């Protein structure tokens, strides 16, 4: 007699058989439900940020391990890594000036590992880097960040343009904008 299928296996098989649009819709709904659950479960949001920063740092360490083992960086965007390093450097500065706590150490760890990935792509794995496909202009992201700063901050004084407010907005919106080259690189072959 055959053993009955487990419910998780039945659900995963059903999801795999769905068209991509349905899978995307299910992913969005699941993500939104997870955010609602987190909103009601997590009372101290600082723990959530620490966990997110730790996962980011561990993820970059796993990327370094993969790059070291496979000896190739094909498909990886150097520009997105540079943007990530840029916003992490600003975030590290803001964290050092404003907080100086566990966030500072986690930002430092993530920045160091991101810089190591950039070093590996530029020097160790240069032959496998696809520069022709990684042609997203970084100034789009920086100018988008500055535009978001001008919308968020109502009174911009040119003399104090580079101040803590601007750097704070840069480190927050920079993390959002730095995924644009990754999405562009992943979606289009000739991006």
- Label residues 120-134 b or e (16+ Cβ within 10 Å = b): bbeeebeeebeeebb
Q: CB under 8 Å to 83, separation ≥6 — which residues?
A: 138, 141, 174, 177, 178, 181
Domain that holds residue 117: 50-137
d(CA 177, CA 191): 17
70 in a domain, yes or no?
yes
pTM above 0.75, yes or no: no
150 in a domain, yes or no?
no
CATH of the domain at 107: 1.20.1280
77 in a domain, yes or no?
yes
Q: Is residue 174 pLDDT above 50, yes or no?
A: yes
Quote the pLDDT of residue 111. Answer: 92
Per-residue pLDDT, averaged over 10-25, amounts to 92
Q: How many domains does the chain have?
A: 1
Give the model confidence (pLDDT) of 109-121 as tens digits: 889 999 999 999 9
């Amino acid at each position: 007699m055959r053993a009955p299928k487990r419910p998780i296996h039945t659900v995963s098989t059903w999801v795999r058989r769905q068209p991509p649009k349905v899978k995307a819709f299910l992913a969005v709904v699941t993500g939104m439900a997870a955010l609602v659950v987190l909103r009601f479960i997590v009372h101290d949001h600082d723990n959530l940020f620490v966990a997110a920063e730790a996962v980011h740092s561990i993820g970059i360490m796993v990327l370094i391990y993969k790059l070291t083992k496979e000896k190739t960086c094909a498909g990886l965007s150097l520009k997105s890594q540079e943007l990530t390093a840029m916003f992490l450097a600003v975030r590290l500065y803001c964290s050092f000036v404003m907080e100086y706590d566990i966030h500072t150490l986690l930002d430092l760890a993530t920045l160091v590992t991101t810089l190591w990935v950039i070093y590996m792509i530029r020097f160790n794995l240069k032959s496998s880097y696809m520069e022709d496909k990684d042609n997203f202009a970084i100034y789009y992201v920086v100018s988008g960040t500055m535009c978001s700063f001008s919308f968020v901050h109502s009174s911009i004084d040119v003399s104090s343009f580079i101040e803590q407010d601007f750097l704070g907005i840069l480190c927050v919106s920079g993390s959002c904008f730095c995924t644009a080259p990754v999405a562009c690189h992943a979606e289009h072959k000739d991006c």
